[in-house]
Amino acid sequence: MANLTADTVRKYQGGVEPMFEQFPMTASVKAYQGSAMGHASGNAKILAGTDTVFIGFAERQADNSAGIAGAVDVTVRQRGMVELAVTGVTTTTAPGTTIYASSGNDFTTTSTSNKSIGKLVRAVSAGVAIVYFEATGLTSV
């Protein structure tokens, strides 16, 4: 997989009160609904494994592809549980395993060059997991 090229409705689970926030977007970026988002130089962008801050998932599409930095805001879901395709997850993967992202739509159990986005709640099947996620700014550590 790679970054999303169309809006993707994520399957969010109940039991966790979601939090939403708006962030100005970097220039020349189109964020599709469902994209994992990062933060760099004061603006939101599609997450890359090298980003220092995970801010959540785009709640709906935000198109700043023709704008300057900050011309468009993106609304992100900063906390919740979501079903994701995760490379490395098997039916025996332990709850609490850290889940990482290398792009706005690539999720893995491998930490190398990837950004932590949350913890495995349970494996649905091989390669599919329920993940508890929390934006970096919400964590208490």
pLDDT (tens digit per residue) in 56-111:
999 999 999 999 999 999 999 999 999 999 999 999 999 999 999 999 999 999 99
Residues 36 and 72 in one domain: yes
Confidence at 41, pLDDT banded by 50, 70, 90: confident
The count of domains in the chain is: 2
- What does the alpha-carbon distance between residue 22 and residue 73 come to, in Å, rounded to a whole number? 6
Same-domain status, 35 and 64:
yes
**Does the pTM exceed 0.85?**
yes
Claim to verify: residue 64 and residue 85 sit in the same structural domain: no
Burial of 93 (0-12, 13-18, 19+ CB in 10 A): middle
90 in the same domain as 65? no
Question: What is the CA angle 73-59-43, rounded to 5?
Answer: 35
Last residue of a domain, one of 77, 100, 117: 77
Query: How many CA atoms, within 13 angstroms, populate the side-chain half-sphere of residue 18?
Result: 16
Give the domain range for residue 65.
Answer: 18-77
Q: Answer yes or no: is 5 within a domain.
A: no
Same domain, yes or no: 93 and 128? yes
- In the chain, DSSP finds a helix count (H) and a strand count (E) of 0, 12
